[in-house]
Chains A and B, each alone.
Chain A
């Protein structure tokens, strides 16, 4: 399989993720769509790593995974905190920041 196929698939998954962020209202689903985009990036990194015959891209993808895990932890913490304070979980209503 040409590496191009993997790159096109990665672009497709990224576009689906962007569409999800633009379309959905629930912060939980928006986080899921961010995961989609990060994973599309990981797939592209691995494809380039394979096409260059060099493992450094895979280390990069591993770091992306770590960053994604951090993003999930903080994002879910925010969702749980918002839910506890009876704040509606809808990004259209989560517009103002108050201390």
Chain B
């Protein structure tokens, strides 16, 4: 049963990823990424990451993707040639991707870690629940939590500054 769920999630995630880089229209790429993210949330559930799966759907597939859809609609369909200028790029880039995958695969399979050759230890009920993550976040990783909130604030202010409409006086110059 777990195998079926894993392969369903894996096919969704991988198909979504390939569709993101293969589709010509950026709008469709964004939609493909949503499929990818939802499949990935399913895989997170299989790995007992309940809270992260929920956060993935709410934060990513919900909020962040709305931003992307908005910008894709605002910028409109940039007619981008799917491949081009640098000669041979359309062959070399996938080749590099495959080489990277082979390298990572060798690193993973050849690592000899015994812990990754099993399903992982049995964990108690509540592993990865909001309660457990929240306790860790507010006790052990409090500084990281605060730093993340500060980073979000800075990013929000930065985005407003970047995308703000220019004042008329600047427009002339």
B41 to chain A, nearest CB (A): 10
Contact call B75/A89, Cβ cutoff below 8 A = yes
* Residues of the B chain whose Cβ atoms lie less than 8 Å from the Cβ of A32: 20, 26, 29-30, 33, 68
* Residues of the B chain whose Cβ atoms lie less than 8 Å from the Cβ of A8: 105, 108-109
- With contacts A56-B136, A83-B74 known, what are 6 further pairs, Cβ within 8 A? A11-B105, A32-B68, A50-B49, A51-B115, A52-B115, A53-B120
B contacts with A: majority SS: helix
Tally of contact residues, B, Cβ under 8 A: 90
Interface residues of B in 85-125 (CB under 8 A from A): 85, 89-90, 92-94, 96-98, 100-101, 104-105, 108-109, 113, 115-123
A contacts with B: majority SS: helix
Give B contacts to A, CB under 8 Å: 2-3, 6, 10, 13-14, 17-18, 20-21, 26, 29-30, 33, 36-37, 40, 43-44, 46-49, 51-52, 55-56, 59-60, 63-64, 67-68, 71-72, 74-75, 78, 80-85, 89-90, 92-94, 96-98, 100-101, 104-105, 108-109, 113, 115-123, 127-128, 132-133, 136-137, 140-141, 144, 148, 151-152, 154-156, 158-160, 162-163, 165-166
